[in-house]
A = this chain, B = another copy of it.
């Protein structure tokens, strides 16, 4: 979905802004169409979008901004007020450039929300948006390659964009999901992993890490926790955990050096086993 939309809206030489920390492959997907990938950091304290920084990164060649809410890896659900401010700067930039700047909303985690939150899509703030969804997280089945692209009902040039997307699917080599799963989409839509269990694991792990002395944000959605690494070298810290059979992702891989990512898709038994390892690691001396 993301690859199709990026290709449908971009020409070679265009620029696409993505927000950092990003999903691993935004950069590659953008470069693959001959466009320039421009990384903009989120606010490091709140993990909320830094709208002023995004505005500063927009140039006359900017074609799209990719937003991922709730965010992998921070779990941050961007507030409506922030998204409205983002929409306002995209609208101004479109007018200034005489060419539309699109919002590409990666909503892979939109149904993985905690505390009975209701999802509000970034596309509701800005009609020139593409909503990209995959069932890979909702059903923990990324390999099924099933999802969809939605265009807002009030999108300008909606029909032209539908045509561009279909033609892009053809020229990328029949980039359509599996036909059987297409038929199953209505039923897939009603199925979901156990969010209550996921939320319990979040609560347990956030409490345990905080008690052990870690700095950790309480995510509003997604599978992930993004604690600060107690060692400045997150790669070394991740290796230390790995030697104790606890596997986490080093932050440097996702443009967040000094952090590490825990996935809550681990089983309860794995979480129970990991908690004492995290606590013990915090008591280790920081390597020189």
Taking CB atoms, residues of chain B closer than 8 Å to A170 are 25, 28
Is A180 an interface residue when CB atoms closer than 8 A count as contact? yes
Q: Are B181 and A178 in contact (CB under 8 A)?
A: yes
- B144 x A25 contact (CB < 8 A): no
Q: How many subunits of this chain does the assembly comprise?
A: 2
A179 at the interface (CB under 8 A from B): yes
Q: When A34-B34, A181-B178 are in contact, do A29 and B141 touch as well, CB less than 8 Å?
A: no
A179 in contact with B3 (CB, 8 Å)? no
A172 interface hit (Cβ, 8 Å): yes
Known contacts A141-B179, A143-B178; A172/B172 CB under 8 A: yes
- A208 to B180: give the CA distance in the assembly, Å: 37
**A107 to nearest B CB, angstroms?**
16
Contact assessment for A145 and B174 in the assembled complex, using a CB-CB cutoff below 8 Å: yes
Most B Cβ at <10 Å: residue of A25, A141, A178, A182: A178
Any B CB within 8 A of the CB of A240 = no
B28 and A171 contact, CB distance less than 8 A: yes
Those of A1-57 within 8 Å (CB) of chain B = 1-4, 12, 25, 28-29, 31-32, 34
Identify A175's interface contact among B12, B31, B175, B181, CB under 8 A. Answer: B175
Tell me whether B32 and A171 are in contact (CB under 8 A): yes
Chain B residues whose C-beta falls within 8 Å of the C-beta of A28 in the assembled complex: 170-171
Which residues on the B side are within 8 Å of A2 (C-beta)? 173
- Residues of B within 8 Å of A180, CB to CB, are 143-144
Check if B32 sits within 8 Å of A176, measured CB to CB. no
- Whether B34 pairs with A171 at a CB distance below 8 angstroms is no
Of residues 167 to 221 in A, which have CB atoms within 8 Å of B's CB atoms?
Answer: 170-182
Nearest CB on B from A130, distance (A): 14
Closest residue of chain B to A4, judged by CB?
B173
| Cβ–Cβ < 8 Å partners of A179 in chain B | 141, 143-145
Residues of chain A at the chain B interface (Cβ within 8 Å): 1-4, 12, 25, 28-29, 31-32, 34, 141, 143-146, 170-182
Can you list 27 A-B pairs, Cβ within 8 angstroms, ordered by A? Answer: A1-B173, A2-B173, A3-B174, A4-B173, A12-B34, A25-B170, A25-B171, A28-B171, A29-B171, A32-B172, A34-B34, A141-B179, A143-B176, A143-B178, A143-B179, A143-B180, A144-B178, A144-B180, A145-B174, A145-B176, A145-B177, A145-B179, A146-B178, A172-B172, A173-B175, A177-B178, A178-B178
Query: Known contacts A2-B173, A32-B173; can you find 6 more A-B pairs with CB under 8 A?
Result: A1-B173, A3-B174, A28-B171, A31-B171, A145-B177, A178-B178
